[in-house]
Structure formats: C-alpha cells, structure tokens
Homo-oligomer: A and B are copies of this chain.
Amino acid sequence: MSDKHMSRSAEMYLKAMAEMGPRQAATVSRLAERLSVTQVSANEMVRRLDEQGLVTHKPYKGISLTLKGRQAAGNVLRRQRLWECFLYDHLHIEWAHVYEFACLLEHATAPEVTEALAEFLGNPTTCPRGNPIPATDGTFSPVDGIPLSSAAVGVRARLLAVTATDTEVLKYLQDRHLLPGREVILRESAPMQGPLTLEVEGREFALGMNMAEMILIQPLASH
C-alpha cells in the first residue's frame, strides 16, 4: 500500500503544501506556481498523492493534507530545517543560500541521520529563518506571529520568521537585515497595496507587499 519510500518530487509537493500553511488554501495552480511546473503537471501529481492517501483534492475547493500527508510533510520540513541549522551554524553558509542547499539534502537523509543530526545540533526548535522544526513524529505548530503585510502603520515589532524560500528573495531580505530577531518599525504604508516603508537598524527602505506577506512579526508593546 504505502510505498515506504517517497520520491523527491512527491516530497516537494507535500512540503510546499505544509509551507503554505493553513493561511492560504492550497490549489493546483498555487502548487504549480510554487514548484515551477505547469498546472497540468501539478494536477497529475496531486492526483497521484490523492490516490496514495496523502492529500485530499476537492476540485474547485482546494487541496488539503491528510493526517498521513501532514506527517510526511512534517518529516521533510524537519530534515530541511535541521540541515538549515547545520549549514548556517556550523558550515557558515550564507543565510540566503541555506534554504536551497538544505532543500537538496532533505531528500537524501535517512531517519537515523536525521535524529543523529538533531542530537548533534542540540535539538533546535527553529531554523535560521525562524520557522519551527517539527518533532520526530512530524508534528509542529505554526509560528505565532502576524504577517508584516497586515501590521498597522507605526508599529514596532520583532521579526519572528521569514517564510520565503526563493534564494533571490532571501538575498534581498538579507541585504536589508530583515532577519529573525531584528526589530522592525513600520513607518508608512502606500495605498493600493503599495510598498511599505520600513526601518530596520536605523535604515529606511521600501518593501513590496508580496514580500511583506512572507515575514512574520510579533508587535512590541509601545512603552
């Protein structure tokens, strides 16, 4: 029944669904976009995953992970984020590149290696992008923060996590010191979904709404 071993592709589809989170509903088109394949290809894979009992696809309604699929996705995320920690903390790989390199390793990691790696790292709970590292059973709770895109002008906040995965985007954020732990002030919000004006470490700059959606913050009590 369940094939024990899952293909790289299948793992990436499941991980993509988990990464999108419960915030936005997964659809075939969104998956296609995220995985850089055509909608037809994404549709085929979703059908296969549905047949394997990993996702449930209700046409025109959305796709959701089954319990089995959620666990499988959690396991991929665990491997992914543990490798991110290793690459960043021990190999000193540039922050913006860590995701893409870990994204290769995540599919080539035996369970024994995963657990030994977690042990080696001291069982970290978050990756360098601030996202939670699922437990051994694949379970995890989402980051307790709000998207920067939905914050009110004038708010001062702690950056909790970056959900972006694209290296170019990460590089952009890295260059502007928009990293977990930093303090961010939202100075201005242009109308019509226009860019935000942020202040980070004394520097001001504009950030588009699409990127702001991929940054989770914790507003700080204004003293």
Does A1 interact with chain B (Cβ within 8 Å)? no
- Scan A106-142; emit 1 where CB is below 8 A from any B CB, else 0: 0111101100110110000000000000000000000
Majority-rule SS of A interface residues: helix
Task: Compute how far the CA of A101 lies from the CA of B116 in the bound complex, rounded to whole angstroms.
Answer: 12
Does A203 interact with chain B (Cβ within 8 Å)? no
Task: Compute how far the CA of A120 lies from the CA of B86 in the bound complex, rounded to whole angstroms.
Answer: 11
User: Are A104 and B97 in contact, with the CB atoms below 8 A?
Assistant: no
Which of A26-34, A40-48, A87-95, A206-214 has 4 or more CB atoms under 8 Å from chain B? Answer: A87-95
| 52-92 of chain A: CB within 8 A of chain B | 87, 90-92
Closest chain B residue, CB of each to CB of A87: B113
Does A105 interact with chain B (Cβ within 8 Å)? yes
| 4-26 of chain A: CB within 8 A of chain B | none
- Scan A177-199; emit 1 where CB is below 8 A from any B CB, else 0: 00000000000000000000000
- Distance from A171 Cβ to chain B, minimum over Cβ atoms (Å): 14
User: Are A92 and B116 in contact, with the CB atoms below 8 A?
Assistant: yes
User: Are B92 and A112 in contact, with the CB atoms below 8 A?
Assistant: no
User: Are A93 and B116 in contact, with the CB atoms below 8 A?
Assistant: yes
User: Are B116 and A109 in contact, with the CB atoms below 8 A?
Assistant: no
Contacts of A90 in B (CB 8 A): 120
User: Are B101 and A110 in contact, with the CB atoms below 8 A?
Assistant: yes
Task: State which of B100, B113, B120 has its C-beta within 8 Å of the C-beta of A101.
Answer: B113
- Distance from A196 Cβ to chain B, minimum over Cβ atoms (Å): 32
User: Are B108 and A93 in contact, with the CB atoms below 8 A?
Assistant: no
Question: Can you show 26 pairs from A to B with CB atoms below 8 A apart?
Answer: A87-B113, A87-B116, A90-B120, A91-B113, A91-B116, A91-B117, A91-B119, A91-B120, A92-B116, A93-B112, A93-B113, A93-B116, A97-B112, A100-B110, A101-B110, A101-B112, A101-B113, A104-B108, A104-B109, A104-B110, A105-B105, A105-B108, A105-B109, A105-B113, A107-B108, A108-B108
Query: Using a CB–CB distance below 8 Å, which chain A residues touch chain B?
Result: 87, 90-93, 97, 100-101, 104-105, 107-110, 112-113, 116-117, 119-120
